[in-house]
Amino acid sequence: MTTVSPVPAGSFGSAGSIASTGSSGSVGDRISPLRLTLHQWSALTVVWLWFTVKFGIVEQLYRPPGAFATAALPAMALMVLVIAPRGTIGRIPVSVPLLAVLCWTAMSAAWSRDPVFSQFQIRNEIPVLLMVLAVIATLPTEVVRQGLCWMYYGVTMLSLATSLTRPESQVAPKGAELDEGELIGWRGLFDHKNGLGVFLVLGMIAILAFERRRPLRILGALLAAACVVGSRSATAASGFMVALIVWIWVGLLNRSTNQRDRALFGLVSIAMAIMAVFVGLGLMPAFLDLYGKDFTFSGRTIIWRESMEVVEDNPIIGVGYGGVWHDIQGPLTSGLHRQIGFNAAHAHNGAIEVLMETGLIGLVLFVVFFASVVRKAASLLETPARMTARWALACCAGVAFMGIGEVLFQGSMLGFLAIIWMVVARAQQDVQADTSLPIETRLGAGRR
């Protein structure tokens, strides 16, 4: 269950600023940076800083202290909310499933195997996420979309430049887990090549969805795709294909004009998906060889098997958020490493990690929240906000698929899914506001 309050069109703007009238979450006129207000620039800065810190965009150069996420960034967000246009705070959409996930995560510190680290993680992630979501909700949807594009353009160019010029961004030294030798692949200034790859898979979809200028849209998406390929990350490559397929598929589905066409399209899609599974299984040896993997997916299947042993001991409530993997000297983690045969940093599977830390209850709550994001986005496919809906659905598909091999259902990626929900919810508010206007006003609002 989610709560979205309808708002009057234009109520999220202010005099001389970008207003929300006629911005039903679709791609409207390009926004000039010179037109943004102090509040809008400040809000985007907070959002960009959150992404920079939580995704480690420049982690090779600088890693901020924990106090930045627990105190400084929330304080900045609070100042942005203070100067927000009148009336915006009271109309912030609320996701009950998301709050349930966050509350259960916070409660798990009470039974965590590593309570000190659990409490640190919770303080470091939950308050700042809620503040950033509130900041995003005070912005017009087109400003958020354009801000995401600017961010992804910047990260793409920075990652491309550093990966081409810095040896450290091309080959990472041998780590403590999984890979036996050096990690070959572009990583920009991210700590790991998977970080760069996953981030720019989502960046490519945002550029395809929200960049109006065709030459820049094509160039930006190609450069982001080049970084994903250069990362040599099998996780990112698979997520790239799934996200792009879903992006194209939803676009084609949107063009179906009646139920008969949609039913036929659905049957053809199911047949093609089944065919793709068999083709993928046939090509898997070549794919694994291309990325230097084996049929254990670089030891992941071993980690999954041993992690499930921990799940069986604590199936309902888990061992607490952050209760495993951090304390390598503790009996739980050291025992896991001994059974696995090497030092794993996490379960390398989103669902298994959630089961380990917050149990079956935590996984069910996450699935409910994830389904609420997909459902809300799908509800906008036949509205002027369809590009926002396509972006959300493609990103969700990419995250879900990449979550098979990486931990993407908690922490920063859970925050990203929450941001998707907020952007979609704001687009829904805009649609409701637009439909309440006289038809002459809606027709005069410009290109949707």
Q: What is the pTM of this model?
A: 0.87
What was the pLDDT predicted at 33? 82
298 or 46: which carries more pLDDT confidence? Answer: 46
Report phi then psi at 173, rounded to 5. -65, 160
Comparing CA positions, the residue from 129, 141, 149 lying closest to residue 49 is: 129
Decide if 446 contacts 28 (C-beta within 8 A).
yes
% the chain with pLDDT above 70:
79
User: Where residue 276 falls among pLDDT bands split at 50, 70, 90?
Assistant: low
What was the pLDDT predicted at 442? 44
CA pair distance 397, 264, nearest whole angstrom: 22
What was the pLDDT predicted at 342? 84
Decide if 402 contacts 413 (C-beta within 8 A).
no
What was the pLDDT predicted at 278? 54
Token pair of 231 as six digits: 């990362």
Extended strands (E) in 131-287: 171-172, 183-184
Which segment, 156-170, 176-190, 275-289, is predicted with the most confidence on average?
A: 156-170
% the chain with pLDDT above 90:
62
Average pLDDT (214-230) is 94
Average pLDDT (58-72) is 93
Comparing CA positions, the residue from 26, 262, 308, 261 lying closest to residue 142 is: 26
pLDDT tens sequence across 95-148: 999 999 999 999 999 999 999 999 999 999 999 999 999 999 999 999 999 999
User: Where residue 255 falls among pLDDT bands split at 50, 70, 90?
Assistant: confident
What was the pLDDT predicted at 119? 95
What was the pLDDT predicted at 194? 92
